[in-house]
A and B are shown apart, each in its own frame.
Chain A
Amino acid sequence: MSRQKTLDFEMIFESTPVACLVLTPELTIVAASNRYLAVVMATHKDIVGRALFDVHLPNPADPQDDGMRALRVSLDRVLLHRVADTMAVQCREIPRPDGQGIEARYWRATNAPVLSPNGQVLYIVHHLDDVTEYVHLQQWAREHEERARQLGLQAESLKREMESCAQDVAARAAEMTRSNTELEQFAYAASHDLQEPLRMVSSYVQLLAHRYHGRLGQDADDFITYALDGAKRMQTLIADLLRFSRIGTQGKPFVPTSLDAVLDRALASLRHEIEETKASVTRDALPVVQADEIQMAQVFQNLIGNALKFHGEASPRIHIGYEHCEHEHLVSVQDNGIGIEPQYLERIFMIFQRLHTRAEYSGTGVGLALCKRVVERHHGRIWAESIPAQGSAFYFTIPDREGNPS
């Protein structure tokens, strides 16, 4: 072993933290790095100077010694082609750095020729790269690839389900629209066709009353009165039903509508009732919203009309309030009237539902159902809150965006 004056390459080579062997073209080991010795768990004496394939370096991870066969093939290739050859990754267990037993690590061996100036192979450098992290990463990637593929499939499946659900929803919405339209048409046709025979009943009972009042006896007069009363009520019911059924079919497209102006209109039409009950009406400033003006007027008229009608001993004090919530206009009509018991707060919005006898308060029970229909056509919500004997508040919302009427 000669030592150089300038650099002790031998020492450098042996200390280099790379697992390396230097072989002659005849495959004798002429040098080995310390790292290599540590990896194969051998000493310098065990292997240096000996023929490579005489040295048995057991590898429990490779019981068939496939590695040795592969090494031979690789070295032959290097000798033949005089270019470096990289082998397939092999597993080999080595002692753990902390001395606590052994661990499996993965190595990629490369055999690189050292050529003379005229291209002859002088040496072959066999070096091992610790590619354990790489292998682990590969394994991890494969596992995760598989997981990702599974997730992908699940996502696909969920997407299909969602699309199917969306289709269901769309179909049902379409069905409901169609059904609603049919119902409206039915209600319209029914009310329309009911008017004719009703007119006959009503007109001729009135004629009877007119022509024979007092001439057929008290019983007849009473009977005629009840019949007339019934006919009149039916007229009102049918008219209300007609109005109700036309909300969708006769609704106009939404345009920017000043709710202040609409409220003015409603209050003007209720002028008589306001004077009669000596009501006081206060109001917040109302915004301009996308709405059907006539239908909005109907809502205000019904809500304020109710507030005027269902008053207690005191004169009605009515306040129309406004609040802008996130993306919504919130309008309220509050009164100090007789109130509504909590168990009826939802029922009152159903058509023809009344909470009082006709002797107590007039009305067909369509007003609130109509309000609900109109508000819902405008994509809003309507509800009531109340404390019996203290008063009620009716709230409705209109979305604050460009809406399209249904």
Chain B
Amino acid sequence: MIRDNGKIIEILLIEDNPGDVRLTRECMLDNKVRNTLNVAVDGEDALCYLRKEGKYANAATPDLIMLDLNLPRKSGFEVLKEIKMDERLKVIPVVVLTSSQAEKDILASYSLNANAYVSKPVDLFEFTNAISQIREFWLEIVKLPTE
């Protein structure tokens, strides 16, 4: 489904691994739905961005957040918790995108109200496929609350 309102979807990717950032960026490039991928490399930075603090005063509110659990300093779980407890931020869908396949991580994420949990596939093409599907689902099929 092609959105015809011309709005650019804002995505916040919270990921410290530059390799993964690049891969994700490549995959999110899309002709059908225009989107901007903003990157925060750790949890503190991400929350500043979301709360439009300091240098992020003019930052756009993301329509979708992709969150890696494995972050330095503040853990992905803590970031998820703070987002979902914040009145203004909790409506933003959060897709947890992480290397872990541990059941306890999955359960913990959904318990903290993650909207989706995706294990990063080890194979490159499976990875790009997964990102493409995330893109298709959340940007083309799903209605986002900020529309």
- The chain A residue with its CB closest to the CB of B128 is A203
| Residues of chain B lying within 8 A (CB to CB) of residue A210 | 124
Determine how close the nearest CB of chain B comes to the CB of A211; give it in whole angstroms: 11
| Residues of chain B lying within 8 A (CB to CB) of residue A206 | 123-125
Of A163-171, A191-199, A283-291, which binds chain B?
A191-199
- Per-residue 0/1 for A192-235: is the Cβ within 8 Å of any B Cβ (1 yes, 0 no)? 10011011101110110010000000000000000000000001
Give the interface SS of chain B, mostly helix, strand, loop or mixed: loop
- Per-residue 0/1 for B114-143: is the Cβ within 8 Å of any A Cβ (1 yes, 0 no)? 000000101111010000000000000000
- The chain A residue with its CB closest to the CB of B102 is A192
| Residues of chain B lying within 8 A (CB to CB) of residue A196 | 17, 70, 99
- The chain A residue with its CB closest to the CB of B19 is A200
Interface size on A, residues (CB 8 A): 13
B99 with A202: CB separation less than 8 A: no
B123 with A202: CB separation less than 8 A: yes
Q: Does B23 contact A (CB under 8 A)?
A: yes
Q: Which of A192, A200, A207 contacts B17 (CB 8 A)?
A: A200
B100 with A203: CB separation less than 8 A: no
Q: How far is A196 from B122 in the complex, measured between Cα atoms in Å?
A: 8
B19 with A204: CB separation less than 8 A: yes
B125 with A199: CB separation less than 8 A: no
Q: How far is A200 from B100 in the complex, measured between Cα atoms in Å?
A: 15
Q: Which of A192, A207, A235 contacts B122 (CB 8 A)?
A: A235
Q: How far is A195 from B127 in the complex, measured between Cα atoms in Å?
A: 14
Q: How far is A207 from B123 in the complex, measured between Cα atoms in Å?
A: 11
- 25 example contacts (A-B, Cβ-Cβ < 8 A) are as follows A192-B99, A192-B100, A192-B102, A195-B99, A196-B17, A196-B70, A199-B99, A199-B120, A199-B122, A199-B127, A200-B20, A202-B122, A202-B123, A202-B124, A203-B19, A203-B124, A204-B19, A204-B124, A206-B123, A206-B124, A206-B125, A207-B23, A207-B124, A235-B122, A235-B123
Closest 10 CB pairs of A and B: A206-B124, A203-B124, A200-B19, A196-B99, A199-B122, A235-B122, A195-B99, A203-B23, A203-B127, A207-B124
